[in-house]
Structure formats: C-alpha cells, structure tokens
Structure 1
C-alpha cells in the first residue's frame, strides 16, 4: 500500500492550472438542496457574500455569481461536509477544481449542520446523509438548468470527516453498527438507540460515483471487512493528530491499514481541522476552534496549495483523462 506525507506532494503546487475563475450558483430555494455549485467561468472572480451562517463572522466565497458555464462534457464532483459543518467549509478546494475544469456541487446535510443539529448523533443520519447526496446528484444530472454541460459518466465524490464516511457508504460499505454498540457507553444519541434495540438504517449506495477523495473519515463504523466492498478508485487523506470526530488519529490509521486495493494515501502531520479551508482573520476570531492548527505554526495555507493540487490531479487522472 502506497503511503506518502503531504510534503511529498508539494511539488504539485508548481503545476500550472488553467487560468480560469470559479462561477458560483447558490442553491437557496429548497431546504433539502441548500448549497452551491462551482464551475468554470471566464470572468474575473470577486467575493460572493453568504452572510453570518451563525458562526459569528461573515463568510464569503471567491468566484463570479451566476456566471455562464464555460466548457462542455465536464466532470462533476459531489461534496459532503463534516459533522456540524456546512457546504462551503472546503470552498477553496471546490474553487480549485472549478478552475481546473470541473463542476463541484455541495449541499448542507439537513439535521447535521452548523445551524441545525436535529439529526446529529442519531442513527438516522447514516441514511439521511447518503440520501442527500443521491438527491443532489439526481438534481445535477436531471434538473439543473446547465445539466447539458455535465458528462454523466464522469462523477466523483469528495467528503470530509463524517462526509468521508458517507462516501464510503455510497461506494458500497455497510456500516458496522454492532461494532459501535459494543464500544460505546453513552446514554444518548445513536449509542442509546443501538442499546435500546433501534434498527439501524439500510445503507444507501450509488453506482454513479466513479472515483472519490476521502478526507479523515469518521472511523467508528468502518472496518477492513466492510471496506472490502469498495471497488471505486479513491485517494485517502488522514491527519496524524486527529481531532473532534476522529479521535487521536489512531482510528483513521486503523482504517488506512484496512483499505482495499492500493489506494493513494496521504498522512498529514497536523490535526483534523487542517483540512478545512484557511480561515479569514474574522472567522479565526469568531471560531478559533476550527481555525487553530495542531501543531502550532502548521502552515494551513501552504498545505492547502499542495492538497488542492493533489486532489485536482487525482480527479483529472480518474475522471477527466487529462483533457481539462
């Protein structure tokens, strides 16, 4: 199994990506499809304001709102955010993919966002999250006003933390709820539901996904046995020091050791939140927990230049055939 530190991928930063800008369409009319679509655009990027998002600081995306889509037969990447996150928490990666000729679509997972915790820590989230992604993919391929520019045979998935585990489920994994029931002691949430005999949801798969980037996935329900069902090529990233949702890093290390095939694996010498987009000074002041890196002094912005380039390269190889 190939293993590498992100530093070895830093040379990818020197690759010249096409000089394009990310067009952005916001999805706001349907609570089940609240998010954004990034795509290639010929105009100069600016700031697209999203407002406060209940984090105590205004949040902007970089791009051109409602710019006409540039290109045809474009590959599509669907994004799933982490527990308690939101669709734009890795916006810089979405922008990099759009600049490189991809369409990226991301939505909030209702019940498990920064503003809505109604499903958080429940068994139902293991059904609702994959269903959200299937709904988004259906929308992009069947109902999006610019769907004609998408190549439906070139669909990728990008997921962080619980979003990464969501991706494994979509690609064929059946979560091991019995394992968690034997380990957890909590008297609330999914743990209590399992101990009280609540039937876990059946996994939701989607064969349209042809390649994936899995980032520091929530490890509890993932085992060597259930990961063996994954036949889709994927790139795997994990943090060495872990953080909320992934523990001290030993869980994702265990998952990495049980991955099927010989995926490309990157081990980043930092904590879990290093994978989130670099924070503005305003966001760092408002939510220091997600903006403070471990170890102190870790260069998140420099890491993201290498990270984004590696993600673009992987999806180019798997979906775009090097032609974007």
Structure 2
C-alpha cells in the first residue's frame, strides 16, 4: 500500500537511484508501516448559504473524511475494476471506525480537488496523511464535481470554492464526533489543480478575474484558458451571458480576500489559475506554502502557473518532478481504468505514478510536520 511505501520510495529518490520508479522500491517489505490504520466517514454539511444557486443539484457540502484509527482495526479494500465504476485504485480503510485513542486530538487538513473531480480522487494523499496522524476533510465542490453535472457557475466562479472550505472547517469543528478530536491550533490545507488555487486563496491570494480574462484573450494565452473539462461540460463563458443575481453578486466579490486565519500552512499541487492571482496578494501571504507539480504538465502549464506563484510567494518552496504530468497527481488507476479515461490514467514513459505519490506524501508529511508541529 502507498502509505507503507513512502519511506523506501523517498530514500530511493534522494539517492538518485534508477530503481526509485520500480515496483520493487514501491512495495518494499522492509520499510516500516504507518503508525495508524485509516478510518473513513462522510458528512453533509448544511451551511446557511446554500450551494444550489450555482446550478448544482445538491445544497449540502458533501465531505469525505479520513482519520487515524488503531492498527488493530481491520481495513477493507474498496477496489472494483469493472465498467462504469470508478477507474481509480482506492486505499483500504475502516468505515465509521472510532478515532484512534493514542492522542486526544490530531491536526486537521482540508482537502480541495481539481476541476470536475472529487475528494476521493485524492484518496492516495488523504489516506496516507490519515495513516500518519492527520484528520483530512475533503469537500466535493458543488457545481464542480464529478458527482453531478458541471455547471457554469460552479466552473467559473472559482473563488466560491474557498467559501466551501471555510464552511466545511466550521462543520468539522462543530461536529459532535469529529470536533473534539481536532487540534484547533494545527490546521492546514492541501489542494490539487483548481484545488491548489483554492488553498492559496485560503492563504490570502486574491483573484483578479478581469486580468485573467485579458490574459486568455491575448496572444500569450495557453492551455489553462481551455481546460479539458470546459468542452466536456459544454461551457462557453464568452457566449453564455445569462447571469442570475447570485452570479452577479459573486462576480462583484471575486477580488475579495478569502483568507481563513485558522489555516496555518498550505500544500498546493499543480495549482491552476496562476495568472488569475493578484501579484500583490501573493506577495503578502505570510503563512508557509509548499508547491509541487510535474515539469511535463501541459494541462496547467508550469510557467504561467506554479512558477509564477512560486516567484511571487515570499515563503514558498517548489518541487518540479521530472516527466510527471498534471494527472500523475490524481489517484493511480485500476488495470481497466486507462480504457475508460486515458487522459487521467496514462503517464509519460518512465514515470511511476505510485513513486511520485510516495514522494508527494513524504514532502507533505515533512512540510506539515515542520509547520504544524506537535505529536502525531
């Protein structure tokens, strides 16, 4: 399992060994197991501001939660490689098990998925973090999740995703079961792609919507202006001029700050919309930020996204993984997955997705261990 392979895979990378991407290094039996098993539960948070105005079918913030449980609690595999099922390989977990009693409280990490994805598509990261003593809460952003059709507002009003995250944080802290187990002084956030943008907003980045639209209308425009999900959802921002009062109100607050002071550190993987983030606001971010992407990312090109963000952030470190593409940072696919969704499942030659994941997990653990210090 991925969470048992982190140490061995990282050691191979650090040594520069060619075997770092080999199955043998990923499945090393000699490497110590994670200190916890993984529990999973789900929540439907109902904040005052309903989300169905975005055109979403759901009003609630449907949230997946991973958390540490005792190693004596058995985990169950959720993998079913069959047509019509999820193409991704999910990590084994114990559904609705009790939170481990090793400590009274654990640090909390919010998790934000990419455009048209789900919290479960980052199960590889969430489960590994939970196995090392973190509670991880991943929201499925209304109007922008694979659980239901994408909507124009869910797709275009990106800054609203930060409000989802803060509302989920409120919900977890108030939850009668989970809330008491959270160390409120140790809260961070993890995001991928548009989720990477989302957690940067929580850190203090502000959106300049007009500047981004101008960039996309210029000769410098690149692939970030036409993400694959736009065609799939048949969304044409230029042609669709119908706006509800709620849409207009959201656009009016697009440049507002969505900084959540409860969040002390963020880990952003392949963050999108780098050209939409105001330079001054990025320069003013005061909390630690760790950035990671593949250097072969053509979906969210690194020069206009992660490199721009890294250049402007005063307290950020950056890792670019050779050969990795954008979707290398999504769950590993089951054997039949590539036939269903080749864009999401196929990596560049020589890239081992599990090894990249192990490296990302170790980087996240080191980062949050330093920025959210305490006993886990």
How many pairs are equivalent?
312
State which of 312, 315, 322 in structure 1 corresponds to 2:368: 315
Q: Once the 2 structures are TM-superposed, how far is the Cα of residue 310 of structure 1 from its aligned partner?
A: 1.5
Higher radius of gyration, 1 or 2: 2
Residue in structure 2 matching 1:225, options 266, 280, 304: 280
Tell me if the contact between 1:50 and 1:58 (Cα under 8 Å) persists in the aligned partners: no
1:41-120 map, 5 Å: 41-42=69-70, 43-48=73-78, 57=87, 60-70=90-100, 71-114=103-146, 115-119=148-152
Task: Give the distance between the partners of 1:216 and 1:317, measured in 2 at CA.
Answer: 21
Distance in 2 (alpha carbons) for counterparts of 1:57 and 1:251: 30
Unaligned runs of 5+ in 1: 1-5
TM-score, normalisation: structure 2: 0.74
Q: 2:236 aligns with which of 188, 213, 216?
A: 188
Are the counterparts in 1 of residues 172 and 179 from structure 2 also a CA contact under 8 Å? yes
Query: Following the alignment from structure 2 to structure 1, what is the Cα–Cα distance between the partners of residues 365 and 289?
Result: 13
Counterpart among 7, 11, 35 of residue 19 in structure 1:
35
Matched, 1:125 2:158: yes
CA RMSD of aligned residues (A): 3.2
Distance 1:22 1:250, change over 3 A: same
Q: For residues 199 and 240 of structure 1, what CA distance do their matches in structure 2 show? A: 35
How many Å separate the matches in 1 of 2:145 and 2:359? Answer: 28
1:169-180 correspondence to structure 2 within 5 Å: 169-180=201-212
Q: Does 1:141 align with 2:173?
A: yes
Q: Residues 52, 265 of structure 1: CA spacing in aligned structure 2 closer, same or farther, 3 A cutoff?
A: same
Distance in 2 between residues matched to 1:223 and 1:251, nearest whole Å:
13
Distance 1:237 1:59, change over 3 A: closer
Alignment correspondent of 1:268: 321
Which region of structure 1 is more displaced relative to structure 2, 15-24 or 97-106? 15-24
Q: Structure 1 length normalisation: TM-score?
A: 0.85
Choose 78-87 or 178-187, whichever is displaced more: 178-187
Tell whether 2:62 aligns with 1:34. Answer: yes
* Superimposed CA distance per residue, residues 50-90 of structure 1 (whole angstroms, 9 cap, x where no aligned partner): 99997665874420000100132210000000011101111
Q: 1:18 to 1:191 in 2, by over 3 A?
A: farther
